[in-house]
Amino acid sequence: MTDFLVLAFVFLAAGVVAVPIASRLGLGSVLGYLIAGVAISPILSALNVDVVAIQHFAEFGVVMMLFLVGLELEPKMLWHMRHRLLGLGGLQVGATTVLVTGVAMVFGLTWSVALACGLVLALSSTAIVLQTLNEKGLMKSDGGQASFSVLLFQDIAVIPMLALIPLLALPELADVASHAVGHGTEAVAEAATHDDAHHDDGHGMNINLVEGLPAWQAALATIAAIAGVIVGGAYLTTPAFRFVAMANLRELFVATALLFVIGIALLMTLVGLSPALGTFFAGVVLANSEYRHELESDIDPFRGLLLGLFFMTVGAAVNFGVLFSSFGLFIGLTLGLMTLKAAVLFGLAWIFKLRGGDKYLFGLGLAQAGEFGFVLLSFTVANNVIPKDIADQLLLVVALSMMLTPLLFILYEKVILPRLVEDSDRDADEIDETGQIIIAGHGRFGGVINRMMRAAGYSTTVLDYSSSQLDRLRRFGVKVFFGDATRADLLHAAGIHEARLLVVAIDQREAATELVRHVRHEHPKLGIVARAVDRHHVYELYAAGATHIVRDTFDSAVRAGRSAYEELGMHAFDAEMLARAFVDDDKASLVALASVYDPSIAAHENEEYLAKVKELVSQRDDILSGNGKAFLVRTDRGWTPPSREDLDAEQEAEKT
């Protein structure tokens, strides 16, 4: 227990200290975690901690991240990406493998070892690249999408690689090894018991249900598992969440979301597929679900913590003794590898017509080797494909290339991008802004706003916390997401950071004010249209920073008042003018009072506020006592003819 607490404390403290500093310095969280890892590596070795084992555990963060990426990606979009996925991804893996193999053979390695090195180093780091792209908001850019295509292909490519690598086994290594090895995942299971440095590959666990079955049965089981994920995701999520909603406990949603991801990952490993890939597809299936944002915000903290832990273990696993023993060699190898990978990527960027900043994002962002490299390296050693000393050197190269990646992103952001922006034409006039309108609360008020936005062709994201409301809306084909809009993480999952407008239409007065205050604090420039229940709520929302404040019953009451004027025999146009004058007058007093309102003092105890009210009332009384017509004073300004006396005076003046 104490061991666990010490370990947790060391990791958490390192992350909490290093990441804010790194972010403040503009280095990004990934580099912060990596540096934290390097910093705590002496402590970890003093405590005799098996860093690699922790790393394999933390790799589950990658699985969660791919689930979240899947949630962002509708099936339609995935289909749309297929050419890039196969073309870009296939060519990247193929060309890089061939080139690395060639170079390795020049260095004097036998072809089979060289090919294994090529396969291992062709892969990039999904964890670092996706984390950084998300953090910098580059995921939706062309370069971000291309990078994602390649990463996804690599993820798929790992499966055939795991099958291929054992075929490259060196007989002399097998002789040296104390144990005979089979092939496929069986080897991993066996290796886990013998090789204490690398327990398992983290992506294929030690139980495999389809192992030993005839090929057709195994294939059938695999297909059944995938079908199960798709059908279950599509049809069981909603009933499951509705069942959980009955308990009305926040943590149960989190538990359910975790259960989903872990269950799918387990199912995939049982049939020998990559859990990252399986959860990715489950995410895609759920991308259209109304529980999408709920799932996102529930899983996201776990993903963040696990990935952070993963990055720290990468930093901590760097063996500085070995590194400094031949510093020049390792730096040379790492830079050589990254240059070669970047060259392939720039070539692909040219073929696939990526332009400007996207080209550099793609070319520099994917130039590292990745966490799958760690996995495959331990796998190759276990299968006697690569000698252990070479594998250890490669391990260092992979880690170093990962540590250099955040620096390349900084280079992209600070040096390359500003130049490109300067060069490109500035014609910002008629850019069609993208971005969502987020509507919090979809009752009678928010519903009308949603319909108006959609009628004008804007896309909206609607958040509501009532299951019955959701059911009703779904029947009308409205896209609504389940969740409490006042929760910051849910708003973030709904895309508040890139939204162009927030509409606060929830019923709860205090919650609405709190929501406005929070969002205004986080996003000073975002437009906020807020619903107020009464005048005092208007002042509160004004103080909280809402851009537009609309009292929910005021306009309809004014219309009713206007109808009353008409019913009393007033001409319709006079009634309209009078109603407008009333609104203007009311607004003027509202603005005057909002400036003296203090949310921390009750209105009836706020001296300044009371004084202002008295002043406004007496002004109105003056008007009343003057002619008895209150607002009419304002409306008889327009279209009135000159008085008889004026006309007479003018005619007199004309004569003289």
Partner 1 sequence: MAKVIHYYAHPGHRFSHANKAMWQAAQAVDGVTRVDLYGEYPRHDVKIDKEQQRLLDHDVIVFQFPVFWYSAPSLLKEWIDLTLEHGFAYGKDGDKLRDKWMMLAVTAAGPEAAYSEGGYQHFPLRTFLTPFEQTARLSKMRFAAPYVLHDALKSDPSAHAAGFVELLEGLRDDRIDLEKAEAVECLYRDSIASVLHRSEGSLAQ
Q: Which stretch binds partner 1 (CB under 8 A): 3-11, 19-27, 100-108, 634-642?
A: 634-642
- Checking 161-164 for CB contacts under 8 A at 24+ apart, the result is 161/119, 161/376, 162/201, 162/204, 162/376, 162/379, 164/119
Q: How many residues are there in the chain?
A: 656
Whichever of 413 and 636 has its CB closer to partner 1, that residue is 636
Supply the minimum distance, in Å, between the C-beta of residue 653 and partner 1: 8
Nearest to 576 by CA among 564, 585, 586, 588: 564
The sign of the torsion formed by the CA atoms of 142, 145, 147, 153 equals negative
Determine, following the binding rule CB under 8 A, whether residue 615 of this chain makes contact with partner 1: no
238: Cβ–Cβ under 8 A, 6 or more apart, which residues?
289, 290, 291
Supply the minimum distance, in Å, between the C-beta of residue 642 and partner 1: 4
Both tokens assigned to 541: 């929302």
Determine, following the binding rule CB under 8 A, whether residue 638 of this chain makes contact with partner 1: yes
Supply the minimum distance, in Å, between the C-beta of residue 592 and partner 1: 17
Q: Which stretch binds partner 1 (CB under 8 A): 227-235, 260-268, 483-491, 636-644?
A: 636-644
Whichever of 334 and 635 has its CB closer to partner 1, that residue is 635
Determine, following the binding rule CB under 8 A, whether residue 641 of this chain makes contact with partner 1: yes
Q: Which stretch binds partner 1 (CB under 8 A): 16-24, 109-117, 567-575, 631-639?
A: 631-639
Supply the minimum distance, in Å, between the C-beta of residue 227 and partner 1: 50
Determine, following the binding rule CB under 8 A, whether residue 433 of this chain makes contact with partner 1: no
Angle (CA) 524 529 535, round 5°: 110
Residue 439 identity (one-letter amino acid): I
Cα gap 346→92, rounded to integer Å: 10
Determine, following the binding rule CB under 8 A, whether residue 77 of this chain makes contact with partner 1: no
What are the distances in angstroms from CA 444 to CA 387, 447, 553? 69, 5, 12
Supply the minimum distance, in Å, between the C-beta of residue 588 and partner 1: 12
Determine, following the binding rule CB under 8 A, whether residue 646 of this chain makes contact with partner 1: yes
Sole binder of partner 1 in the list 475, 604, 637, 655 (CB under 8 A): 637
Sole binder of partner 1 in the list 2, 428, 639, 654 (CB under 8 A): 639
Supply the minimum distance, in Å, between the C-beta of residue 649 and partner 1: 5
Cα gap 155→128, rounded to integer Å: 14
Q: Which stretch binds partner 1 (CB under 8 A): 65-73, 526-534, 598-606, 642-650?
A: 642-650
Determine, following the binding rule CB under 8 A, whether residue 602 of this chain makes contact with partner 1: no
Pair 169, 80: CB distance under 8 Å: no
Determine, following the binding rule CB under 8 A, whether residue 423 of this chain makes contact with partner 1: no
Supply the minimum distance, in Å, between the C-beta of residue 140 and partner 1: 28
Cα gap 200→52, rounded to integer Å: 10
Determine, following the binding rule CB under 8 A, whether residue 457 of this chain makes contact with partner 1: no
For the chain, the 3-state helix, strand and coil shares in percent, each to the nearest 5, are 70, 5, 25
Taking the CA atoms of residue 83, residue 375, residue 102 and residue 411 in that order, the dihedral angle to the nearest 10 degrees is 70
Q: Pattern of binders to partner 1 over 543-582, x per CB under 8 A? A: -------------------------------------x--
What are the distances in angstroms from CA 242 to CA 37, 238, 256, 345, 620? 42, 6, 11, 46, 55
Supply the minimum distance, in Å, between the C-beta of residue 303 and partner 1: 44
Q: Which stretch binds partner 1 (CB under 8 A): 8-16, 266-274, 605-613, 638-646?
A: 638-646
Sole binder of partner 1 in the list 50, 598, 621, 650 (CB under 8 A): 650
| Residues near partner 1 (CB under 8 A) | 429, 580, 637-642, 646, 649-650, 653
